[in-house]
Amino acid sequence: MIGYQESCSNSTQIATYFQGSQSAISKIINKWKLTGNVEDFPRSGRPSVQSSHIEDAITDMVYQNKYVSAQEIALELDLARSTTFLIMKNMGLKQSVPSQILQLNESHISKRLEYAEENKNTDIKNIIFTDESYFQLHRNSEGCWYFENNNNFTSVSKQQIPFMVWAGINWSDRTQICLKESGYKFNSASYIGILDEYLIPFLEKLQKLENKMLIRSNKKKLLLVQDNPPCHQRNQTKQYLEAKQLQLLRHPPIPLI
The answer to whether residues 128 and 205 touch, using CB atoms and an 8 Å cutoff, is no
> How does DSSP assign 16-38, residue by residue?
HHHT--HHHHHHHHHHHHHHSS-
The residue-averaged pLDDT of 49-76 equals 84
> How does DSSP assign 62-87, residue by residue?
HHH-TT--HHHHHHHHT--HHHHHHH
> How does DSSP assign 197-209, residue by residue?
IIIHHHHHHHHHH
The residue-averaged pLDDT of 123-147 equals 75
Q: Which of 12-26, 74-88, 241-255 has the lowest mean pLDDT?
A: 12-26
| Cα 142 to Cα 17, 35, 93, 101, 114, distances in angstroms | 60, 53, 16, 15, 36
Predicted confidence band of residue 31 (pLDDT cuts 50, 70, 90): confident
User: What is residue 143's three-state secondary structure?
Assistant: coil
What is the C-alpha to C-alpha distance for residues 143 and 105, in angstroms, rounded to an integer? 26
**Positions of E strands within 44-177:** 93-96, 127-135, 144-147, 163-170
Please report, in angstroms and rounded to a whole number, the separation of the first and last CA atoms in the chain.
Answer: 72
Specify the pLDDT at position 93: 87
What is the C-alpha to C-alpha distance for residues 247 and 155, in angstroms, rounded to an integer? 42
Q: Are strands 163-170 and 178-180 parallel, antiparallel or unpaired?
A: antiparallel
- CATH T-level assignment (fold) for domain 106-142+159-248: Nucleotidyltransferase; domain 5 (3.30.420)
Q: 96 or 191: which carries more pLDDT confidence?
A: 191
Specify the pLDDT at position 21: 76
| Cα 236 to Cα 45, 99, 120, distances in angstroms | 69, 35, 31
Q: 43 or 81: which carries more pLDDT confidence?
A: 81
Q: Please check the confidence at residue 26 and state whether its pLDDT lies above 50.
A: yes
70-82 pLDDT, tens digit per residue, is 888 999 888 888 8
Q: Please check the confidence at residue 48 and state whether its pLDDT lies above 70.
A: no
Q: Please check the confidence at residue 250 and state whether its pLDDT lies above 50.
A: yes
The residue-averaged pLDDT of 103-117 equals 86
Q: Please check the confidence at residue 257 and state whether its pLDDT lies above 50.
A: no
Mean residue pLDDT across the chain: 78
Rounded to 5°, the CA angle 115-240-133 comes to: 60
Q: Quote the pTM value.
A: 0.51
